[in-house]
Amino acid sequence: MHADIDRFLTVLTSERGFSHNTIVAYRNDLNQFTAYLQAPPEEDHQTPVAAWPELTDAHLNRYLLYLHERQYKAATVARKTAAIKSFCHYLTEEGVTRFDPAASMASPRVEKYVPRAVTFEEVDRLLDQPAKKLETNRFESLRDQAMLETLYATGMRVTELVSLNVGDVDLDQSVVRCNGKGGRQRLLSIRPSAVVALTNYLSDGRPMLTAEGEEALFLNHRGSRLTRQGFWLILKSYAEQAGIGNITPHTLRHSFATHALTHGAELRDVQHMLGHVSISTTQVYRQVAVTNGVEGEFSHTEATAIQSTVSV
């Protein structure tokens, strides 16, 4: 049974361009589902499933009830349901099962997620923090300043940020080449303060730890590529120092989009900058910009930089 899951995930990766994080989530969800089928709770009075052709819609309905009884959040159940439905459809297409047992499987309703954006003033406080340790740890200060400025200037995902290589940055043109989901590239403009931060890091910070042949833009203390988890710890520390609660790396992405729309950026431009396939995904930021009452002002130069992103 696990071999079919592995083949399914390979298809999602190679043919459909699913991200690494999605593949990991799907693998965990399908492995949990398989474990349930092979050793179901005694109160279900259900015979263990030894092979996928034995799977029926009754098994799926019982599993949904099992998840609800254990008080999984609706969003989590929705993701697990999506993984199972997609996998069952794959099994049917491949001829492993004669019919799709998930054809009528209901997906739970999930309340529309409204992203949280921090204010302009909070962003300024956050961006001020790395400079405070310039004298005690110059490498960290310059690297962290460059990372935070780049993330907020482009709205890219954290995975995209830590995946950047030195060759992806063109400071003369004030642009960064970002490799997004599904192998889609986009060229993003960066505001002047981000250009300065990256220039300082590349000239005075990164050379302190550069390992021979290392292409990664942002390095850890061992001279290798910084991880998503490493960046999250860095951001969390600076947020605490700045007195900003409940902030994640994605909060800066949300804030970038909200602030850009607040200052007149076109929705299609913000869609491109964020790497959204559907513009409906981007439209939620209009609501955030209106309802959150985001306060503060960019300088004219910064507002222009945010709105001047170009397409690949």
- Which residue in 276, 91, 298 sits closest to 184, CA to CA? 276
Amino acid at 120: F
Catalytic positions are 157, 181, 250, 253, 276, 285
Nearest alpha-carbon partner for 85 in 68, 61, 66: 61
Task: Give Cα separations from 59 to 30, 40, 54, 56, 82 (angstroms).
Answer: 14, 10, 9, 5, 16
For the stretch 103-110, contacts whose Cβ atoms lie closer than 8 Å and that sit 24 or more positions apart, written own/partner, are 103/57, 104/57, 105/57, 105/60, 105/61, 105/64, 105/81, 106/64, 106/81, 107/78, 107/81, 107/82, 108/64, 108/74, 108/77, 108/78, 108/81, 109/74, 110/74, 110/75, 110/78
